[in-house]
A and B are shown apart, each in its own frame.
Chain A
Amino acid sequence: MKDYLATIVKNEKIAENIYAVTFLLEEDCKARCGQFGNISVGGTHLLRRPIAICKVEGREVTFCYQVKGEGTQKLKTMGAGMRSRILLPLGNGFYIPENEQKIALVGGGVGVFPLISVLREYGKTKEISAYIGYRNQGAVCGVEEFEKATKFIAVTDDGSYGEKMNAVQAFAKDLAMGNRPDVVLACGPTPMLRALKALVEAENLPCYVSLEERMGCGIGACLVCVCDMTNGQKARVCKDGPVFNVKEVVL
């Protein structure tokens, strides 16, 4: 973990309301898939924006974000050459044991981007099937990355791109056809994760989910971004997560 001085290389729209920003860091950074950075957007914004790392190569790191509030609105306006501070890498990230060969990625909405980082880290050594749900055709992004997976099934809520269903339904359909992974990695809206939790519990499949929560410090000190654990305790999404065994968290 280091607070890097970062210079924007490019910051461009990749889908409806979704942008990809690439920073050049002052020095090399190593990050695991599923980790995130806490990005300063400056001005009157006292909180940094925690955003999943999409890819990191040497000194270059790319984040994809949805423009939602004033902070991401500000980030959108920051052009090449502008400087920022990014604390990274943060959080635990996804980890896949060596004996687990067949990986299913289930993602929806902005949850697709941390899954791209999984594909980049494990794409060459594991058999990866990606089940990705988008709102509609305009929201489709990351296709060129997901097409590198062993299997890529894209679906939309309205059927304007791929079949009309959500990512969990797409995964369930493939599962019913006998395509059973060793482990499921997922990220997306809470209702999607809830549906997935029910499915993997019924199927007795190991599953890890990456959670999102409003954060303060991003490093585990302030206890702002907690989630409920099934053992009755709280876990810090930024430090103990953002990736949790789905069995251990209450969604």
Chain B
Amino acid sequence: MANLSVKLCGIELKNPVIAASGTFGFGREFNELYDIGEIGGVSTKGLTLEPRLGNPVPRIAESRGVILNAVGLQNPGVEHFIEHDLEWLKSTGTCVIANVAGKTLEDYERICARLDGLVDMIELNISCPNVKSGGMAFGIQPKSVEEVTRYASSALKRTPLIVKLSPNVESIAENAKAAERGGASAISLINTLTGMAIDIERRRPIIANNTGGVSGAGVKPIAVRMVYEASQAVQIPVIGMGGITCAEDAIEFLMAGATAVQVGTANFTDPYAMPKIIQGLNDWCDRHNIKNVSELTGTLTLNGR
């Protein structure tokens, strides 16, 4: 039995496998299938100050090896989450990461202040590609990444801040550095890549929003490369995600520089994907005589070196 626990921003996770925001709700539905206390953490459905109804349907489409989604931040609002879901989610024993989004800098500041001390970590969604007011505008340029991170981090006295980076940018390394300068305790990446899928009979995009965020197995090489570049650029821990389907995928991200990983789309393909990945990590470590999974982080050697 390998030691799968990892330390992230001073908090110990049972294992490095975290449910990615938007694919797991607040955990209740998956808890009907398995004890979600067994997974390292849960990043909640993206929360905003006010409830949001999200985009029209269809909100999802499939393309070979990937999916596209444009849910549009439908959520019951942060107060509803605090009142109805937070205590339950904490009681499962998993690490609770509140994913938050907003329209303005002040929104980010207010929602962070509201959740400070209530959750284990906050993940700043500045990269939702599916709503005009979903923070994507903050996630593109390093200057605005730094600014929104500073607003959020200044509102947090007790809870560590993770900034979730968009891949739809000029330089992932520059944006990672900007988040670090702004006061982030960690960064997570990648959010979805903006894409489009067309119904050729109707000559219209399948998704009502026209474009959607691309995720799933097919985006993994892009995500691994970006996690590598970002982790080389910053000192703070990196949480890697993008197309992780099995333990071997997760190990690629760890080797590329991630301290922990998130799993999203794979939860749709196989609702037991995360428990299987955790078991697989243990088995891989055992086979390779690795005592602590944390030893794998950043162990990649580039060819020619």
Contacts and interface: CB of A to CB of B under 8 A. Distances in A.
B11 interface: no
A221 B45 CA distance: 9
Given A1-B32, A214-B61, A224 B269 contact: no
Contact of B69 (A45, A71, A224): A224
Interface residues of B, number: 35
A156 to B, nearest CB: 23
Interface stretch (B50-58, B96-104, B109-117, B234-242): B50-58
Given A46-B65, A71-B62, A214-B61, A219 B271 contact: yes
B29 interface: yes
Contacts of A47: 60, 62, 67, 268-269
A213 B61 CA distance: 11
B302 interface: no
Contacts of B30: 219, 221
Query: How big is chain A's contact interface, by range?
Result: 20 to 34
B269 A40 contact: yes
A3 B34 CA distance: 11
Interface in B118-145: none
B53 A219 contact: no
Interface string B255-286: 00000000001111111100000000000000
A185 interface: no
A220 B29 contact: yes
Interface stretch (B1-9, B17-25, B185-193): B17-25
A221 B62 CA distance: 18
A214 B24 contact: no
Interface string A34-64: 0000001000111110000000000000000
Contact of B268 (A3, A46, A85, A223): A46
Interface string B8-42: 00000000000000111100111011000000000
Interface string A72-104: 000000000000010100000000000000000
B202 interface: no
Question: Chain A interface secondary structure, helix, strand, loop or mixed?
Answer: loop
A3 to B, nearest CB: 6
A222 interface: yes
Nearest to A42: B269
Given A3-B272, A71-B62, A216-B23, A223 B217 contact: no
Contacts of A219: 29-30, 32-33, 271
A46 B265 contact: yes
Given A1-B33, A223-B74, A226-B54, A217 B268 contact: yes
Nearest to A45: B62
Interface of A: 1, 3, 40, 44-48, 70-71, 85, 87, 213-227, 233-234, 239
Interface of B: 22-25, 28-30, 32-33, 45, 53-54, 57-62, 64-67, 69, 71, 74, 216-217, 265-272
Given A216-B268, A220-B25, 4 more contacts: A46-B269, A47-B60, A217-B29, A224-B57
24 contacts: A1-B33, A3-B33, A40-B270, A44-B217, A45-B62, A46-B62, A46-B268, A47-B268, A47-B269, A70-B62, A70-B64, A214-B57, A214-B60, A215-B60, A216-B67, A216-B69, A216-B268, A217-B271, A219-B271, A221-B29, A226-B59, A233-B53, A234-B74, A239-B29
In the A-B complex, the 3 residue pairs with the smallest Cβ-Cβ separation, listed nearest first, are: A221-B25, A221-B29, A44-B64
